[in-house]
Amino acid sequence: MQEEILVRKGPEALLHSPTEGVTAFREAICRHMVPRGIRSSPEEVLVTSGSQQGLDLVARTLLSPGDVVVVEEPSYFGALEVFRSARVRLLGVPTDADGMRTDVLEALLARQQPRLIYTLPTFQNPSGCVLSLPRRRHLLELAWRHQVPILEDDPYSDLRYEGEALPSLKALDPYGHVIHLSSFSKVLFPGLRLGWIAAPRPLVRQLALVKQTVDLHSGTLGQWIVEGFLSGGLFAKHLGATRAAYRRRRDVLLAALEEEAPAGFTWNRPEGGFYVWCRLPEDVPPARLLAQAAAERVAYLPGGASFVEEPPVNSIRLNFTFAPEEQLREGVRRLGRALRATQAEPRRGNHTVVGTPPIV
Amino acid sequence: MQEEILVRKGPEALLHSPTEGVTAFREAICRHMVPRGIRSSPEEVLVTSGSQQGLDLVARTLLSPGDVVVVEEPSYFGALEVFRSARVRLLGVPTDADGMRTDVLEALLARQQPRLIYTLPTFQNPSGCVLSLPRRRHLLELAWRHQVPILEDDPYSDLRYEGEALPSLKALDPYGHVIHLSSFSKVLFPGLRLGWIAAPRPLVRQLALVKQTVDLHSGTLGQWIVEGFLSGGLFAKHLGATRAAYRRRRDVLLAALEEEAPAGFTWNRPEGGFYVWCRLPEDVPPARLLAQAAAERVAYLPGGASFVEEPPVNSIRLNFTFAPEEQLREGVRRLGRALRATQAEPRRGNHTVVGTPPIV
């Protein structure tokens, strides 16, 4: 494949390329977005060094210290880090099984004028939830009324394992209020660091000016490699196989949780994406579970990192796409042991402190 | 080569890799720096997405708005852009044929406490000059005395065509005051976007934390490709051929200038790098030359972009590495025509304005 690209493209694949991205790759991205309901021209697409860079470029281009940014809670911790380093004020809007509570957002917008609304509407990281169609429409209507741009972070929508696809926010937005951010890294070659932003042309130009000072352009060879996969039909084939494998892994994880989870440990059943979001029993303090899990050598993302401030309930995020099926089963067995061990631990609050004089 | 890497490394070459860089690549970079006199361990190296990202990471990590940053004048305009977007105050120190005037810097440091000194000591962009050894020592002594870190931007030192190599600033600095920034893009595959920073370990850790929010890591496949070139000896071979070709191109450009340049147009003779720095005759206004050059379809970098404020004299930068020899000759012929046409133009200042009443 690489050999073929070098033969076909010659040294071009290894030389500098435009800051906005290789034109053939931007065209392929436009075709790739059609199933999401998005009709963009290549001039409305900026290639980024992964979607992480997309987040950073949007923050640098649109945000100033002290600006208000709305995020759903929980949210992607890597985005929260970007916003924090831009020194903005983060306001969280709670989510439920249908995604962001747009009624709460509506009340918030009556009092605040945010500079940006950040959302992962489809198979959210970390909760796996999907924003319902009525809420998508409500969110857009609020954004139009209050003139707030929406940053739609959408790296997972290609990975739907069941149920019907919803149009992306950008597909439902005729006014150019939605900045659509996505990535190839969830399906193909994360090491190539390739994502993109689809947005109105003037904003793409502004973002490209910032990108020029940040890294000149994204890797040329990688762009030609992924362009080759997209245009030659290999991407579609690979996506089909990936979906089937990840769906099986999700089912393995869910079945293992049914077997192993103690009472009070609950979780959702995502229709796609990477993650299952689990609520801890009330008698499991997150810090102690983490210590027990480390002792069992099993890893997960503690839920706290995904909240702006203190989380209302204690949760953890499990990834079902990374490990093969047998490792997933073993991981859940270990998690079950860690949960039970935490529950069996004597709780400090109930102990009489011995040897320290009472404070009077 | 790529095929071989995929066979040898398997999917690893396409997956996520550490933010700091692929370990084998960091080791190869350490070996690559030995001829520069630099002894670093892999933990003291951060791989960056080109040296442009290195500049941006250093600015984001060390600088706050309002900080003073010292740059030599002229300097690399892409770095000036990074510093301007960090909203620091830039103070220029003039250069001559031996690089930065460290006597001027010394006087400046008596009055100011900069947060950073930025320099391109070897085959400077745009002037092609080399900072002399006594000035290297003087600069370091000043940096130690005033406790100011030096950012040494060194993408060109591998490209010496004649004369004796000088040790890099980092090689002369036992105290960790020098942040060494470099790149493979001037010799090998600029499209892969691979550069590096060599610095004390605590700073590398800080920079890596910032890089993580910026793009997670640099492209994995590219790191393995360049690692293969470095470790297999292909890089050294390629560097030898590149040096020979660029040296010939430099000589072709210099010979063409001898033939074509009008009186008052002067230039230097760099011992390496990419650029010849030329001074315009007094009767050639830079804006009019640019218009004439555009009409002749010949491109160069106007000198003004390389200065913090107004340049003291009018200069232009010519690149002799990009175009093949015949194009270089033709380019200089066109530049000569543009210069003569500008000189032949009637100068507006000597015209009587007709049809407008005199202002009294």
Note the pLDDT tens digit of each residue in A17-54: 999 999 999 999 999 999 999 999 999 999 999 999 99
B252 membership: H or E segment, kind and range: helix B234-260
- Which region holds residue B320: left if phi is over 0, alpha if psi is between -120 and 50, else beta? alpha
Contact A222 B221 (CB under 8 A): yes
CATH number of the domain located at residue range(s) B2-232 in this protein: 3.40.640.10
User: Alpha-carbon distance B326 to A16, whole Å?
Assistant: 22
Distance from CA of B175 to the nearest CA of A (A): 29
Q: Residue B357: its pLDDT value, please?
A: 39
pLDDT category at B3 given cuts 50, 70, 90 is: low
Summarize pLDDT for B104-142 with one digit per residue, the tens: 999 999 999 999 999 999 999 999 999 999 999 999 999
Percent above pLDDT 90 for chain B: 86
**pLDDT under 50: residue ranges of chain A:** 350-360
Distance from CA of A125 to the nearest CA of B (A): 16
Residue B354 has pLDDT above 50, yes or no: no
In CATH, which superfamily holds the domain spanning A236-345?
A: Aspartate Aminotransferase, domain 1 (3.90.1150.10)
Q: Searching chain A, which residue's CA lies closest to the CA of residue B53?
A: A215
The ipTM (two decimal places) reads: 0.73
Q: Which of A85, A213, A217 lies at the smallest CB-CB distance from B81?
A: A213
Could you tell me if A183 and A195 are in contact, meaning their C-beta atoms sit under 8 angstroms apart? yes
Q: Which of B61, B77, B215, B274 to mutate to test the interface with A (most CBs of A within 10 A)?
A: B215
Contact B215 A210 (CB under 8 A): no
Contact B220 A192 (CB under 8 A): yes
Residues of chain A contacting B215 with CB distance shorter than 8 Å: 49-50, 52-53, 56, 193, 215
Could you tell me if B328 and B249 are in contact, meaning their C-beta atoms sit under 8 angstroms apart? yes
Segments making up each domain of chain A, as ranges:
2-232, 236-345
Contact A216 B13 (CB under 8 A): no
Strand order in the sheet with A150-153: A45-48, A195-198, A178-183, A150-153, A116-119, A68-73, A89-96, A99-100
Contact B215 A217 (CB under 8 A): no
Which tokens hold the place of B137?
């020592």
Q: Residue B348: its pLDDT value, please?
A: 60
Residues of B within an 8 Å Cβ radius of A = 2-3, 6, 13-17, 49-50, 52-53, 56, 78, 81-82, 85, 185, 189-193, 210, 212-222, 225
Distance from CA of B156 to the nearest CA of A (A): 17
Summarize pLDDT for B247-289 with one digit per residue, the tens: 999 999 999 999 999 999 999 999 999 999 999 999 999 999 9
pLDDT category at B8 given cuts 50, 70, 90 is: low
Distance from CA of B230 to the nearest CA of A (A): 16
Residues of A within an 8 Å Cβ radius of B = 2-3, 6, 13-17, 49-50, 52-53, 56, 78, 81-82, 85, 185, 189-193, 210, 212-222, 225
Residue for token pair 């702006």 = A308
Distance from CA of B144 to the nearest CA of A (A): 30
What count of CB pairs under 8 Å joins A to B?
108
The closest alpha carbon to B63, from B187, B162, B149, B192, belongs to: B149
Contact B56 A191 (CB under 8 A): no
Could you tell me if A216 and A16 are in contact, meaning their C-beta atoms sit under 8 angstroms apart? yes
Residue-averaged pLDDT of chain B: 92
Distance from CA of B1 to the nearest CA of A (A): 8
